[in-house]
Structure 1
Amino acid sequence: MRQSVKSLSYLSLAIASALSTQALAEEQALDSSDPSLERIEVTARKTVENLQEVPVAVTSIGADDLAQNGIEVLTEVQQFSPNTTLQRSRGTNSTITAFIRGVGQQDPLWGYEPGVGIYVDDVYMARPQGAVLDLLDVERIEVLRGPQGTLYGKNTIGGAIKYVTKEMSGDTELKVQGTVGSYNQTDFKLTGQIPLIDDSLYIGFGVASLQRDGFGEYLQSALEGQDKENYNKDVTAARVTLEFHPSDDLFFRLNYDKTKDESNAKGGYRLLPSILTDAPVPDSVYDSYTSLPTWNEVELEGISFTARWDVSDNTQLKYIASSRESYSPTNIDFDNTALPIFDVPAIYDDEQMTHELQLNNVGDNYKFVSGIYYYDGESCGQFEAILEVLGNALGAPGLTREVTGCNNSTSQAVYAQVSYDLTDQWSVTAGGRYTKDEKEAYVNNGLIFATVYPESGWVPGYVRPEGELVPEVLNDKQDWSKFTPRIGVEYQAHDDLMLFASYAKGFKSGTFNPRASTAEPAANPEDVDSFELGMKSEWFNNRLRANVTFFALDHQDRQYISVLPGETAADLNQRLANVGESESTGIEAELAFRATDNLELTASLGTIDADFTEVLDTNPETGEQFDKSDRFTISNTPDYTFNLGANYTLESNIGDFVFNANYYYRDDYVLFEEDSLLTQDGYGLLNVGINWFSNDGHWTAGLHAKNLTDEEYMIGGYQFVAPLEDGSYAPGLGGDNTLIGYYGDPRTVSLTVSYQF
């Protein structure tokens, strides 16, 4: 690891030296009136700074770029951030799978902590359910890569995604936007603001209805009257904001938001024909079969309050409080047949409350950020693993493994970070965060020789028996404390070139196994140590921006679920423990070039070499411990990704036309870490768009085509089969060939028109 960092250091300095020598000579020949790139401001270090002054690997995409590229949901941002994976999860449209630099969370079960933090206006979203946010009234999206344990705390060992909404201008504004597109897409958004007291009190609002037919259908359904659309969209969202500016030094914001996603449960694509019923491999990857209801729901609701006081020109106090809750009843048909072979109806129910008080101070030669933080969250759930066909084969009327429980936690933290200028060229950054976590959990787990659903009425005519149906197997609590430091050094070679090196530590919270079948101990926190060498640079009078980061990280005490053999195929015995370690090294480069006043070219590249170095397991028969890291691969992490883009503005007497195109490529990657049977080959997405802006500033229109070549690519799956030497498969849980894939969006075309009053 040290040798890798040393080699990267030499390479970084060599590149910077070569570029500096060439660019300084050429810049002298350029006129100051030449076109230049726009300044980008970010809040990666919890204070407003120029992107080029921040010694952090961060991608920022503003509202204009989001709109001009037709970006509608948070997951599309992955195309513009190197070594980043943001995908819709397996069974719903609203649950996110997020990985950065090979660190993330694949299983969205309650109690499992994410590796990438999601923030909306500095409010942390603890669970992945509902985190695939549709963009409404957004100012920018920031992607912070690498551990953010000092300023953002636990569960940001891969990085953090920041969704920043717009502050109000104080004027009366109203914007109406409509979109029509492929698969009968019909979206409607209405946003606006009204001053209640001039220059002091404003109210803002936003509502959205987002509708689309399915990309495929359920070819068979065991239940009558079910909506057979698959991969459809049915989302409504609303936001109300009250802002109060009593003076130039004071700012208050109260925000309420609610989102309801009633899109159907997603059915997976059978990669193997069923051996128990008539369910061949469908012709379309978006078609499926099911024995469960097709309805699904993800409901989010939250309120937040922000107070900001500029105590002086140099000192600011900021307080952020929030309360959020989500409720998600969902249907996941693992086997994707019209028989109840392996069905999992489930409920996720989460609540959280946060408080954060920040004190920031800026001097002539330093910047100081500090704060205290409190989090209180309840994460509960229930799922039924219905194996009715297997139960019938055993002579029972059905068979269900029921698991219910909660993982509730509190977290307290205090943090501080200072950046200090030693000279005009040299500066240092040092900070740390101390966190104390406490988690309390219970799990009920057991077999029921009947077919059981989470609630009465889940399927027509079903009445759930009263009382607890399975025994409590775990009831425990534990606490952990961690100190996560960050230290760095920056060298400002000249006004437009900064070199930096840093070390940062992050941790992912310890947790209890929500699927525990015995009173097993909690898994301890995961740790990541990260080293970065970077360059932030602008050349040729700010016509070319080149930001490059080299990183190396050591991921320790990885939490991993091991499946234990049981007496029958119905046993879902799983053990959670800290059994893994991995290492990663890579490069991230982001380039932007203003070729002319009207033409801008962009490029980004991410490479990563990530491997497990140790995965320990225990032979249940002999008790002997062994290393099985040769069977493991870092999931959802291509060896490289790149994006090439162009944006051209054509001025005319009827307004400006902006043409854009980008090509995004992901190398091959696996979907599962252990013995993955699902590998997605490398693929590219070609997207093009034309935008029009009227001269009076009222009208805009955009025509966007995405995935123009109609690529088919897997973003999730399930594997419950065992490969045999002859290339066939032995059936897994439920007795069927359950090898399932979920896919990204096909080719779509949409037209968006908006009017700003």
Structure 2
Amino acid sequence: MKKIFLTSTTALCMAAMPAHAQVAEQQAAESVSTDEADQNDGLNVIVVTAQRRQESVQDVPIAISAFDSAELERRGVSSALDIAQYVPNFVGLNNTGLGSANAYFIRGIGNSESIATFDPPIGTYVDDIYISRQNANNLSLFDVQRVEVLRGPQGTLFGRNTTGGAVNLYMKEPGNEFAGYIEAGYGSFERYMARASVDIPLADSFAVKVSGYYQDDEGYAKNTTTGERVNENDGWGVRLGLRGELSDTARWTGSYMHINTQAMNLLNFACDPANPTDCDGRFVTTGLSRDSNFGGRLSGEKDGYGLGNDTNMDFVSSNLELGSGEDVSVNIITGYVYTSQEYALDFADGRALPSLSSPVPAVRGYTLGGFTVANEGKFSQFTQEIKVNASLGDGLVDLVGGVFYFEEDNYTDFADIFSIPTQPFPPFSTVPGGFPLVLADRTLRNTTKAYAGYMQGDLNITDQLTLTAGIRYTDETKKFSVSDNRASCNDGTVEATCVSNVNLFAQNGTAIPRETSTKIWTPRFAINYQLDNDTLFFASATRGFKSGGWNARGTTPSELLPFGPEKAWSYEAGVKSELLDNRLRVNLTAYYLDVTDLQTPSSFNRLDGSVAFITRNFADYVNKGIELEINAAPVDGLNLFASVGYQDDKYKIDRNAPLFDAFGVSSVASQQAACQAQLAAGLVPGGGAGEATNCGAGIVAADGGLAEPIRTPDFSFAFGGSYKADLGGDLTLIPSINVSWRGDSEVGTNNQSIYTGSITSSSGTVFPSNPYDGDFIVGSFSEAHWIVNSNITLKSYDGWSISAECSNCLDQEAVATSLAQYTYLNAPRTFLIKGRFEF
């Protein structure tokens, strides 16, 4: 869906800023941390609001990675997804199909599902406004002030859906002087881009910022069936930011943005499946084209959709701050977001899904795709928060607290189409390019209302020792409704196969509830000791929770099962230090994460070859690890960084759980026992009906053990740097290189992959491939890989600059995710040359 929206847009949003007296302090700190940093004989000073108040990042007793605008430019970061390369134990990826949607995994906690009955466990915030839908969170970093990545649960100060952490973006406000920039560039795959921004002070107390961007490319993958190019990243956006200094104790910021984006992340291959000797580029073979339609098979507007993804977002924010001196301030923060999304995407490349019998399915070019989802969605959300900051007793106690209200209303009209080979008899023989079966066509409506109150206090016992305690209470209610769009389900009768409210029963006959309610307390405790001005020791215990929901991807009524909230406790201890006269910064954190009722989405191939989805609270989860971040400025103009992440995680299951839960779903323990019995009998996992069907499903791996948790390589690291060289004549040259490495990992919940080498079942069936070992063909396994990015900029003090940059410079092919055993690769190497003029 497009690297997207909030894209320049994001920049648009302008909320949650400090009181009038604090603003001058913040702006001074920002000036130190950007252009003047190289002149100050040391590292940037970055002011963050990870505890909902302004502090130096080195004073916050939280595992946090913060990047100001100068650091983002040095590392060539242009979207929220790019940040993940540089944060320890953080994995980011585009969702399958949708280039506009990011799935974040921090310390093993994440979710790649974007349908509206699922909530992401990594909260995304733009200027303190929560972005609830994961299908629109790949924000293009345009006019960004800073990015903060908070690792671990943030359930006290940020609330729901932060069991893994939070990604907070803060945008630049309108400036006090008339200034701005224009930028244009050209790059790989006929990419054109342009950006512009201008600050316009209309009075001493009021200013506006007007920004816009445009980008267009032809797409990095070639469809050798239709001749089209796909996986483009097109879009445009405009934003208006407002700032008013109403009085010495009153300040308001507001923003509006509109963003349109079209972007896909279609399944593609490094060699052309229709001509395997052609490995020059990326290739797609679906027969679904941009001019396609579904010929009356589907209801509503989506019947006319062709291949593509089109998303629009409107974002409105307001932050009124009232402050009485330096001791008390009140923020009234209001946000409204409306998103519409239309797409038709093929998740099976116009052919069958991989299996042991056919690990590389023949190219079919089915005209309506192999497994296609057509979707029309409309999502609106409203948030209201009142936040109070106070300092009492001459600095003895610092308090932050408030109340929060969230309301969301979602509409999703979507259908699943699965194509099968044409048969030599009617009606199948009348359909060219495969016969499309409509697995489901339904309309989903769901709402959320949540109320919360929170309070956190710091007791500054001495200048060195601080004790922190906080608590949040959340009361949340969710409602869910579904109706079948097919004519046979709307002719006065509702058959048992209709995906409608009246048929919502599990296979054991238990009614599936359409309303859930969660009431929960999420506390936080911390202690930090400031050994001296340069060294901080801290320890903390924090709780978080993620909302429950429904398995709305199901195509039969009995599959639309609910899943409960997941809850997490995280225990951290660490040290933050600045050494060598502020030329070396070393931050080290150790953590233990304990999650109860982990929500785990899983997909698998049904016996008929179609895709089934299931999400359950399969197990508990434990992850322990270490995170190290180093920044250095050994000499003026040279900036270096390195980060290392280590994690050791596993699922935990109840070995004494009942054989079946309340909805008739087998427990993991009983499923694992059944799998091991099937393996002992010589049956083969992934072999279809009559084979080891309990293996390679859910979190039970093909070998009968519990699967490895996904996207948690044991080790990951990143390093790089930049150097500002003075060429004389008012010119500087700034080269930079940034390298990241991740170890082996799994990206599919069931760890199911297909390897070379035949295997024979006790049933007598000989499969040409196997689920255990050999050369990797397709599936869940992601091999260790390097990603290298670099750029070089020639800059003049007169305001102009020219830069050349490359992403994935070595053109490394890496498995990012998988769906139904198909493997999704990362984006290929791209180049971009751009010019910029600042005034």
Alignment of 1:537-552 (within 5 A): 537-552=577-592
Give the drift of 1:618. 5.1
Any idea what the Cα deviations from partners look like across 1:493-552, whole Å, max 9, x if unmatched?
Answer: 111111111000000001122135346663221001100001011112111110110011
Any idea what the Cα deviations from partners look like across 1:701-740, whole Å, max 9, x if unmatched?
Answer: 3222222211111222322xxxxxxxxxxxxxxxxxxx42
Structure 2 Cα separation of the partners of residues 383 and 272 of structure 1:
32
Within the candidate set 72, 77, 81, 2:87 is matched to 81
Within the candidate set 173, 198, 219, 1:214 is matched to 219
Larger mean Cα displacement after TM superposition, 472-481 or 421-430: 472-481
Structure 1 Cα separation of the partners of residues 180 and 133 of structure 2:
33
Q: Which amino acid aligns with 1:248?
A: D
Q: Which amino acid aligns with 2:730?
A: I
- 1:268 aligned to 2:308? no
Instruction: Tell me, yes or no, if the aligned pair for 1:487 and 1:503 is still in contact at 8 Å.
Output: yes
- TM-score (normalised: structure 2): 0.76
Q: Which residue is equivalent to 1:712?
A: 813
Give the drift of 1:401. 1.6
Any idea what the Cα deviations from partners look like across 1:640-665, whole Å, max 9, x if unmatched?
Answer: 21111122111222322222112111
Instruction: Tell me, yes or no, if the aligned pair for 2:270 and 2:279 is still in contact at 8 Å.
Output: no
Q: Which residue is equivalent to 2:238?
A: 238
Q: Which residue is equivalent to 1:360?
A: 389
Give the drift of 1:174. 2.6
Instruction: Tell me, yes or no, if the aligned pair for 2:450 and 2:474 is still in contact at 8 Å.
Output: yes
Secondary structure of residue in 1 paired with 2:189: helix
Secondary structure of residue in 2 paired with 1:141: strand
Q: Which residue is equivalent to 2:476?
A: 437
Secondary structure of residue in 2 paired with 1:65: helix
Within the candidate set 710, 717, 731, 1:642 is matched to 717
Label 1:611 to 1:38 Cα distance change in 2 as closer, same or farther (>3 A).
same
Within the candidate set 660, 682, 690, 2:736 is matched to 660
Structure 2 Cα separation of the partners of residues 657 and 272 of structure 1:
38
Structure 2 Cα separation of the partners of residues 60 and 647 of structure 1:
17
- 1:506 aligned to 2:544? yes
Give the drift of 1:356. 0.6
Alignment of 1:327-342 (within 5 A): 327-337=340-350, 338-339=365-366, 340-342=369-371
Within the candidate set 283, 286, 289, 2:279 is matched to 283
Structure 1 Cα separation of the partners of residues 635 and 602 of structure 2:
56
Q: Which amino acid aligns with 1:348?
A: G
Instruction: Tell me, yes or no, if the aligned pair for 1:144 and 1:159 is still in contact at 8 Å.
Output: yes
Within the candidate set 325, 332, 343, 1:319 is matched to 332
Within the candidate set 191, 199, 208, 1:203 is matched to 208
Instruction: Tell me, yes or no, if the aligned pair for 1:401 and 1:446 is still in contact at 8 Å.
Output: no
Any idea what the Cα deviations from partners look like across 1:557-610, whole Å, max 9, x if unmatched?
Answer: 1123567998x7277665543221110001111111121112222111111111
Instruction: Tell me, yes or no, if the aligned pair for 1:116 and 1:158 is still in contact at 8 Å.
Output: yes
Give the drift of 1:470. 5.1
Instruction: Tell me, yes or no, if the aligned pair for 1:255 and 1:305 is still in contact at 8 Å.
Output: yes
Instruction: Tell me, yes or no, if the aligned pair for 1:228 and 1:294 is still in contact at 8 Å.
Output: no
Q: Which amino acid aligns with 2:514?
A: D
- 1:558 aligned to 2:598? yes
Q: Which amino acid aligns with 2:313?
A: L
Instruction: Tell me, yes or no, if the aligned pair for 1:648 and 1:660 is still in contact at 8 Å.
Output: yes
Label 1:34 to 1:114 Cα distance change in 2 as closer, same or farther (>3 A).
closer
Label 1:528 to 1:560 Cα distance change in 2 as closer, same or farther (>3 A).
same
Instruction: Tell me, yes or no, if the aligned pair for 1:501 and 1:531 is still in contact at 8 Å.
Output: yes
Identity of paired residues, percent?
26
Any idea what the Cα deviations from partners look like across 1:201-251, whole Å, max 9, x if unmatched?
Answer: 112111000122221211113xxxxx7112212111111112211223211
Secondary structure of residue in 2 paired with 1:673: coil
Label 1:266 to 1:78 Cα distance change in 2 as closer, same or farther (>3 A).
closer
Structure 1 Cα separation of the partners of residues 658 and 807 of structure 2:
44
Q: Which amino acid aligns with 2:835?
A: V
Any idea what the Cα deviations from partners look like across 1:73-94, whole Å, max 9, x if unmatched?
Answer: 1111112211111222111211
Q: Which amino acid aligns with 2:250?
A: L
Secondary structure of residue in 2 paired with 1:52: helix
Q: Which amino acid aligns with 2:752?
A: S
Instruction: Tell me, yes or no, if the aligned pair for 2:98 and 2:266 is still in contact at 8 Å.
Output: no
Secondary structure of residue in 2 paired with 1:443: strand
Structure 1 Cα separation of the partners of residues 643 and 748 of structure 2:
26
Instruction: Tell me, yes or no, if the aligned pair for 2:469 and 2:524 is still in contact at 8 Å.
Output: yes
Give the drift of 1:304. 1.0
Instruction: Tell me, yes or no, if the aligned pair for 1:448 and 1:470 is still in contact at 8 Å.
Output: no
Larger mean Cα displacement after TM superposition, 583-592 or 402-411: 402-411
Label 1:336 to 1:138 Cα distance change in 2 as closer, same or farther (>3 A).
same
Give the drift of 1:261. 1.0
Q: Which residue is equivalent to 1:306?
A: 319
Label 1:281 to 1:269 Cα distance change in 2 as closer, same or farther (>3 A).
farther
Structure 2 Cα separation of the partners of residues 171 and 146 of structure 1:
39
Structure 1 Cα separation of the partners of residues 163 and 116 of structure 2:
19
- TM-score (normalised: structure 1): 0.84
Label 1:488 to 1:235 Cα distance change in 2 as closer, same or farther (>3 A).
same
Structure 1 Cα separation of the partners of residues 483 and 422 of structure 2:
21
Give the drift of 1:393. 8.2
Q: Which residue is equivalent to 1:155?
A: 161
Give the drift of 1:151. 0.4
- 1:674 aligned to 2:679? no
Alignment of 1:326-725 (within 5 A): 326-337=339-350, 338-339=365-366, 340-363=369-392, 364-389=395-420, 398-402=436-440, 403-444=442-483, 471-472=500-501, 473-474=503-504, 476-516=514-554, 517-518=556-557, 522-561=562-601, 569=608, 576-614=615-653, 625-627=667-669, 628=672, 630-651=705-726, 652-677=728-753, 678-696=780-798, 698-719=799-820
Any idea what the Cα deviations from partners look like across 1:231-279, whole Å, max 9, x if unmatched?
Answer: 212111111112211223211122111111123x4331369999xxx79
Alignment of 1:19-38 (within 5 A): 35-38=41-44
Label 1:717 to 1:598 Cα distance change in 2 as closer, same or farther (>3 A).
same
Any idea what the Cα deviations from partners look like across 1:287-338, whole Å, max 9, x if unmatched?
Answer: 1122323222121111111111112211110011111111111122122022
Instruction: Tell me, yes or no, if the aligned pair for 1:230 and 1:286 is still in contact at 8 Å.
Output: no
Instruction: Tell me, yes or no, if the aligned pair for 2:259 and 2:312 is still in contact at 8 Å.
Output: yes
Give the drift of 1:285. 6.6
Q: Which residue is equivalent to 1:732?
A: none
Give the drift of 1:433. 0.5
Q: Which amino acid aligns with 1:220?
A: T
Label 1:385 to 1:433 Cα distance change in 2 as closer, same or farther (>3 A).
same
Unmatched segments (≥5 aa) in structure 1: 1-32, 222-226, 451-467, 720-738
Between Structure 1 and Structure 2, how many residues are aligned?
678
Any idea what the Cα deviations from partners look like across 1:440-462, whole Å, max 9, x if unmatched?
Answer: 00123598899xxxxxxxxxxxx
Secondary structure of residue in 2 paired with 1:66: helix
Unmatched segments (≥5 aa) in structure 2: 1-38, 289-305, 351-364, 429-435, 490-496, 505-512, 673-699, 754-779
Structure 2 Cα separation of the partners of residues 373 and 600 of structure 1:
40
Structure 1 Cα separation of the partners of residues 466 and 209 of structure 2:
41
Secondary structure of residue in 2 paired with 1:290: coil
